[in-house]
């Protein structure tokens, strides 16, 4: 970002000099300066473990990515972790495994049906967690994944150069099948109600931590220490 700012200052100074001398720019207008940082130069002298991540409405900053699994009855955080990955794509399975391990360690049994067999536990998450591997992995853990696969485009025609008959007969990929299955599930009455429950299960937890308690930044440095700090935040929230 500093390099982008310096380049913009250089361009502004050159333009001011041309205007003062009454000259016009020669050649094509240059492309706008891109403030997005390069993927490699992410070393932070203050905290080498932190990575550049996009912030909501504030550009980019060195950050850690906080994860949490929340209980649907009392808003208890049953699992939490810190990652340096910029997306949630790889987090669905390890977070589910951590939650199940913590429940087992606490002696909390999984719900069972009338025959005594373990019932799949509903697992809701936004579209950032969706992938074919995530859906398959959660199912293997005997969870019932409700991951939003993104908005479905209605009335979309076949790709250019492909007939409607060919598009209709084409065999969908495994990822497409997983997405279609989830879309069907989330459009059902039960699926809609379950996914809507996220608004009063997990989302308020982050709201309470950030807005009510005012915890918007980590005070420590390094992945290990920040992970410990996040667990202290989780503990005090649960208390």
pLDDT digits (tens, 9 = 90+) for 116-149: 888 899 999 988 898 889 999 999 999 999 988 8
Domain that holds residue 137: 36-238
Give the number of other CB atoms < 10 A from CB of residue 116.
Answer: 6
182 assigned to some structural domain: yes
- Structure-token pair, residue 133: 């591997």
Number of domains comprising the chain: 1
226 assigned to some structural domain: yes
Which among 126, 79, 95 is positioned nearest to 231, based on CA atoms? Answer: 79
10 assigned to some structural domain: no
117 assigned to some structural domain: yes
pTM of the predicted model, to two decimals?
A: 0.69
Q: Which residue has the tokens 């589910």?
A: 96
Interval 36-85: pLDDT, tens:
666 555 567 788 888 888 877 777 888 899 999 999 989 999 999 999 98
Long-range contacts of 57-66 (CB under 8 A, 24+ apart): 59/1, 59/35, 60/1, 60/35, 60/36, 64/218, 64/223, 64/226, 66/230
111 assigned to some structural domain: yes
42 assigned to some structural domain: yes
């Amino acid at each position: 970002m500093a390099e982008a700012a310096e380049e913009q200052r250089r361009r502004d100074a050159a333009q001011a000099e041309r205007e003062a001398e009454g000259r016009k720019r020669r050649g094509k207008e240059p492309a706008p300066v891109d403030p997005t940082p390069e993927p490699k130069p992410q070393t932070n002298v203050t905290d080498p473990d932190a990575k550049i991540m996009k912030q909501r409405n504030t550009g980019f900053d060195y950050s850690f990515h906080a994860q949490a699994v929340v209980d649907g009855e009392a808003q208890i955080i049953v699992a939490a972790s810190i990652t340096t990955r910029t997306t949630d794509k790889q987090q669905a399975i390890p977070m589910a495994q951590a939650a199940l391990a913590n429940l087992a360690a606490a002696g909390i049994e999984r719900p069972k049906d009338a025959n005594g067999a373990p019932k799949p536990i509903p697992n809701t998450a936004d579209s950032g967690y969706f992938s074919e591997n995530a859906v398959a992995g959660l199912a293997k853990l005997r969870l019932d994944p409700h991951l939003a696969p993104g908005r479905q485009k209605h009335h979309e025609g076949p790709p250019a150069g492909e007939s409607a008959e060919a598009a209709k007969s084409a065999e969908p990929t495994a990822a497409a099948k997983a997405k279609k299955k989830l879309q069907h599930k989330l459009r059902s009455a039960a699926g809609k109600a379950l996914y809507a429950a996220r608004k009063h299960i997990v989302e308020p937890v982050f709201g309470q931590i950030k807005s009510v308690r005012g915890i918007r930044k980590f005070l420590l440095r390094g992945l290990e220490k920040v992970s410990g700090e996040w667990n202290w935040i989780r503990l005090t929230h649960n208390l």
